[in-house]
Amino acid sequence: MKALSKMFTRPRQLKGENSKNSKFLSASQRIRVLPKQQYTEFQRSYKAALTDLPKLIRNELKVLASSGSKAIWKVQSNENGRYQVLYALLPAKVIADIPNGWHILIPETWLLYRLLVKKKLYKVQAKTPYWAWLADSNQLHLTPIQGLMVNQSYFLDALGENSKGINPELLTLPSSLQMQTLPLKWWELVGCIVRTSTKQVKQAIDYKKIGGYSAALVAIYMMFISAGLTWQENRLQVRVKQLQAEASALFDKQQALDHKAETIQTYRDLYKRLPSASMILHTLSTQLADDAILDNIQQSGSLLQIRGTSPSAVDVISKLSGRPEWAEVKFDRSIQSNNKGGETFTISLVYQPKATQVTSEKTTQSMQQEVNNEK
Cβ-based neighbour number of residue 163 at 10 Å: 14
What is the dihedral angle through the alpha carbons of 177, 84, 67, 128, rounded to the nearest 10 degrees?
-40
Distance in angstroms (rounded) separating the CA atoms of residues 285 and 289: 5
Q: Phi, psi (5° rounding) for residue 41?
A: -100, 140
- Global pTM value: 0.44
Residue pLDDT tens, the chain, 375 long: 343 334 344 454 444 434 443 333 343 457 888 888 888 888 899 998 888 888 999 999 888 877 778 899 998 887 887 888 999 999 988 888 888 888 888 898 888 888 888 888 999 888 889 899 888 888 888 888 888 888 888 888 888 888 788 889 888 877 766 666 677 777 788 888 888 876 544 455 778 888 888 999 999 999 999 999 999 999 999 999 999 999 999 999 999 999 999 888 887 776 666 667 777 778 877 777 677 888 888 888 778 898 888 888 888 888 888 888 888 888 888 888 888 778 888 989 888 875 444 444 554 465 556 546 655
Expressed in angstroms, the distance from the first to the final Cα of the chain is 118
C-beta separation of 69 from 93 below 8 A: no
Amino acid symbol at 290:
D
DSSP letter at 171 equals E
Residue 325 contacts residue 352 (beta carbons within 8 Å): yes
Give the Cα separation of 106 and 37 in Å (integer): 13
Report the Cα 174 to chain-centroid distance in Å: 49
> Is the four-CA dihedral 311, 316, 318, 323 of positive or negative sign?
positive
- Dist. CA 219–CA 213, nearest whole Å: 10
